[in-house]
Amino acid sequence: MKRSARKSISGFVLGVLLLTVSVLSFSTPSSAQIGIGISVRLGPPALPVYAQPICPGPGYLWTPGYWAWNDDGGYYWVPGTWVVAPVGMLWTPGYWGFAGGLYGWHPGYWGPHVGFYGGINYGFGYGGVGFAGGEWRGGGFFYNRAVMNVNVTNVTNVYSRAVVVNNVHTSFNGPGGIEARPTRQEEEYSREPHRAALAAQTDHEHAASQNRALFASENHGRPAIAATGKPGEFNGPRVARANGAGGNANDRAAARSENRSVPNRQQAASQNSARSNKAEPAPRNNQKQAKAEPKRSGGEERR
């Protein structure tokens, strides 16, 4: 009786342990990717303006640039780059979220759908909600040429679908930034099995952290290496420098630019984005008054 009782207890304990291990192994991939990785008191700079390097070839997916944090040097720019994607998976970018007086980093991840990334407009198909830069069809990825820079000679899986370009360039979610919340569908996507950033992506970020020119304290929000053709490729013709600070989406727009229900405080949080906006033409009833004004000096910069 004692032996049988001991065997029963041992079997029960072993079963509980196996069940615990299986549950942990199942839940870790998704929860680890969505949890906050680091928290700081200082908010990230605005996203810089840059052009997308041409796609290297089929199977590459665009991963947008972002501001990362280093305890020694503060924020540094991780250039946007093209990455060979896991077949059938899409990249959900990471984002900074402000809550409780701290800015927390929510790491990005790979999954069958694009989840919530704070409503941040990273450009090139990542307008704040979902992804409009392409889609998987079978085992091949098809690129939307309206927002993706692809050479149809090298990449034949293409289509063109108009995309509304969001001109809000705030780089964090929360009070004072983009106050977006995940939809029910995005919450469902967050519970799907996920895969962490690829080794090429983590190496790319590490290389950026070793380059002093990429720190905001050095480049003042305008990094010389804003985007690259491939991870870690910080030199050569496929490197794009920032055209300006305070914005980010230099999408090859096939649609008009507009702000979609953006609160005024979000626009105030991205003060520098106004520099890239062209001045509106004077109303007709003020045209005579405008003509009567003295001409400006030829050396003044046009906005």
| Residue 242 counted as domain residue | yes
Q: Give the pLDDT confidence score for residue 70 in this predicted structure.
A: 93
Q: What is the pLDDT of residue 246?
A: 60
295 lies in some domain = no
Which of 63, 70, 125, 49 shows the shortest CA–CA distance to 94?
63
Does pLDDT of 16 surpass 90?
no
**Host domain of residue 232:** 39-276
Task: Tell me what pLDDT residue 183 has.
Answer: 96
Overall number of domains in the chain: 1
Give the SS3 label for residue 61: strand
Specify the pLDDT at position 38: 85
Dump pLDDT digits (tens) for 147-195. Answer: 999 999 999 999 999 998 777 889 999 999 999 999 999 999 999 999 9
What token pair was written down for 28?
Answer: 């870790």
Residue 17: pLDDT over 80:
no
Tens digit of each residue's pLDDT (9 = 90 or more) over 38-89:
889 999 999 998 999 999 999 999 999 999 999 999 999 999 999 999 999 9
The label of the residue with tokens 């998987």 reads 136
pLDDT at 122: 96
pLDDT digits (tens, 9 = 90+) for 128-159: 999 999 999 989 999 999 999 999 999 999 99
Could you tell me which of 98, 84, 95, 48 has the C-alpha nearest to residue 216? 48
The kind and range of the H/E element at 69 are: strand 66-70
Residue type, 163: V
* Residue 170 located in a structural domain: yes
User: Is 173:105 a contact under the CB 8 Å cutoff?
Assistant: no
What is the structure's pLDDT at 165?
Answer: 78
Cα separation, 3 vs 189, in Å, equals 49
What is the C-alpha separation between 193 and 19, in angstroms, rounded? 19
Q: Which 8-state DSSP code applies to residue 119?
A: T
Q: Does residue 289 form part of some domain?
A: no
In a domain, 290, yes or no: no
Q: Is residue 284 part of a domain?
A: no
The answer to whether residue 256 is domain-embedded is yes
Instruction: Determine whether 292 is exposed, middle or buried from the number of CB atoms within 10 Å of its CB (0-12, 13-18, 19+).
Output: exposed
pLDDT at 277: 39
pLDDT value at 228 more than 50? yes
If DSSP codes are grouped into helix, strand and coil, which group holds residue 37?
A: coil
> 22-41: per-residue pLDDT in tens?
333 333 333 334 457 788 99
DSSP codes joined into one string, 201-234: HHHHHHHHHT-GGGBHHHHTT--S--EESSTT--
More confident residue, 115 or 297: 115
The reply to whether 9 falls in a domain is: no
Q: What's the CA gap between 19 and 52, in Å, rounded? A: 47
pLDDT tens digits, 250-295: 333 332 232 333 333 333 333 333 333 333 343 344 343 334 333 3
pLDDT of residue 216: 97
Q: Are 216 and 246 in contact (CB under 8 A)?
A: no
Quickly tell me which residue has 């392409």 as its tokens.
134
pLDDT at 22: 35
